[in-house]
A and B are shown apart, each in its own frame.
Chain A
Amino acid sequence: MNNGTIRLDPTGFPMIWVSEIGLYVHGLPVTKMQFEHFLCDATDGHFDSRWYDEILRLNPRVAARRIWSGNYWNAFLSGILPAEAERFASWCGPGYRLLRTSEWHRLYRALEKQSTTLAETELLADLAPHHRELIVQVERAVEETCTQTGDRCHMTERTLMRLGVIEWTALEGPNPNLWAGLGEPHPSFCGNLFFPAEKHLIQPANAETRRLASFGFRLAFDPVSVQENQ
């Protein structure tokens, strides 16, 4: 899957190089901790404290040291609209964007057979202590979840493509909708019977205006597009 190349995003969280899609991808869905960097920096009135209160009402915050298998999804930013996720991506800089649906599926296929841990992928190297603590705690909670159910704990689970949030992805081709969700959240976070391995897209009604507690996102970084623009 990756050749050990890790890149940090502007908030200091790690992205993994995935050769199958030629992109760096966030190792986990975007966390509240990451998004708070953006909120501190946001200059327009949209992302104000009232906005964040609404987000936290849908999915409350949790401190890294209090994360366990019954609440780890609280660490991630969810309830976000696709356009807001795009704003975060553009704040991150050129080359950052949401994954496309086909990229997400290829990423899933690339990760699903890998049984390595996040530490083995060097994802945790060179991280700030509080970032590292959060990722380690989340991985531990996911391992515990898998042990409880007898589920596998491969990279798809450790990176929370399963058991995390539903991730906004950009739809390609002729489709009346621009966005679709992919993933399989933890049943306690959002009851579901989704099949991330199959090409089943979750297309909620009024996706661009209606906040759904279980929808989050992860970003990709495309180094080629940055070089081309330079």
Chain B
Amino acid sequence: MWKFVRTLLGIKDPEPPPPIIPLLRRPELPPLWSSLELFSEPKHGKTSFLWALSYMARNLSLFWPKYACWPQDAAMDTSFRSMLGAFEQREIPGETTALTRLGLSLRGMARWGDRRLFVEDDRDPVFGVSEGTATSSREVNWGVPICWLLSLPDLGPEIAQVVDLQLDNLIRARMRSARSFEAQPLRLVIALTKADRIPGLPPDLRNYLKVDPLAKIVESQSAFLGEEGQPARPALLFDERSVLAYLEALGGIHQRLAAWLATTLPGSLLAHRADAHHITLRFCLTSATGSDLRSNGHLAIPWRPRRVLDPLFWALELGCR
């Protein structure tokens, strides 16, 4: 009826609005998952590990010619620089109070190609939970290898119970996750941190920690030891063959550590629980500072990180499967 009236009055129909042209949308990028998830109880060396890892990650181009690494955004860049600065100033991190993030794009890592590393240095939702403390609310990606930083010297007298309960916490946290059933079986890298302070560590494992060829290259890069002012840089091309040899050694250390831990109550409990839940378990050793020679919140000698890349290498390797 209204159309008829409008025709009588000579009113034209309003022009239809132009069709909404959908904005050109870029195809959805695949999720930028980190290559690993990192968990640690407070005071088990997570911040130190991240500082040392940042330092080593920045220097990987010394043995991978096509390697490049850069922070993922401006905030990450600030955080990355601050970690490196603290490392150079020989600072020793105190208790983590503010959230810092390490987000790096790692490109050209020979065997593993291009990867991302995104780690939050805060109280994580698995091991950081205690009364009255806020934990990170971010979603954990249980599909990537999990790295658990565990400091044996900081566990105290109830070491067996603590380790076993913490693994149980980890398994339960994963089961609570909506994504747990999509994910592959749990791949867990247990990195024994502060290994320079582990009193009963067998000599061969201690020697493995001391003799870190990658750390040696990175250190010699800045130390002008040659008589003619040339850096005494040892030549090491970390090509496919060298990486394989390194991984083989890493596998040997995993077995040796597993055997050593199996002689202790916490180690055997850990192994049994991991076995019962079909967890792919790998052990490694790290020392972020290289010594505990501290005075007034600083190290008295420069940081000498040892084997801090091993947890990353394990995660990358397990992530390939």
The answer to whether A148 and B200 touch (CB under 8 A), given A190-B292, A192-B293, is yes
Contact B295 A211 (CB under 8 A): yes
Q: Which chain A residue lies CB-closest to B90?
A: A205
Contact A193 B210 (CB under 8 A): yes
Partner pick for B301 among A188, A195, A204, CB 8 A cutoff: A204
The answer to whether A191 and B194 touch (CB under 8 A), given A205-B301, A212-B300, A214-B293, is yes
Q: Which chain B residue lies CB-closest to A195?
A: B210
A-B pairs with beta carbons under 8 A, tally: 68
CB contacts under 8 Å to B, within A175-230, are 186-188, 190-195, 202-206, 210-212, 214
Contact B295 A210 (CB under 8 A): yes
Cα–Cα, bound, A186→B292 (Å): 11
Chain A residues with Cβ below 8 Å from B203 are 149-152
Contact B293 A204 (CB under 8 A): yes
Contact A193 B306 (CB under 8 A): yes
Q: Which chain A residue lies CB-closest to B260?
A: A150
Contact A190 B291 (CB under 8 A): yes
CB contacts under 8 Å to A, within B223-257, are none
Q: C-beta contact mask, B199-219 vs A, less than 8 Å → 1, else 0?
A: 111110010011000000000
Contact B199 A192 (CB under 8 A): no
Q: Which bracket fits the contact residues of A?
A: 20 to 34
How far is the CB of B64 from the nearest CB of chain A, in Å?
Answer: 25
CB contacts under 8 Å to A, within B263-306, are 287, 289-293, 295-296, 298, 300-301, 304, 306
Chain A residues with Cβ below 8 Å from B197 are 187-188, 191
Cα–Cα, bound, A182→B81 (Å): 33
Contact A205 B287 (CB under 8 A): no
Contact A193 B301 (CB under 8 A): no
Contact A204 B300 (CB under 8 A): yes
Q: Which chain A residue lies CB-closest to B197?
A: A191
Chain B residues with Cβ below 8 Å from A191 are 153, 194, 196-197, 287, 289, 291-292
The answer to whether A194 and B291 touch (CB under 8 A), given A205-B301, A212-B300, is yes
Chain B residues with Cβ below 8 Å from A149 are 199-203
How far is the CB of A206 from the nearest CB of chain B, in Å?
Answer: 8
Decide if B175 is an interface residue (CB 8 Å cutoff): no
CB contacts under 8 Å to A, within B165-223, are 194, 196-203, 206, 209-210
Cα–Cα, bound, A204→B197 (Å): 19
Cα–Cα, bound, A116→B242 (Å): 42
How far is the CB of B126 from the nearest CB of chain A, in Å?
Answer: 26
Cα–Cα, bound, A111→B292 (Å): 27
The answer to whether A210 and B300 touch (CB under 8 A), given A187-B196, A193-B206, is yes
A-binding residues in B (CB < 8 A): 90, 153, 194, 196-203, 206, 209-210, 287, 289-293, 295-296, 298, 300-301, 304, 306
Q: A193-B304, A194-B291 are in contact. List 11 more A-B contacts (CB 8 A).
A: A186-B199, A187-B196, A187-B197, A190-B293, A191-B197, A192-B290, A193-B206, A193-B209, A193-B306, A205-B300, A212-B295
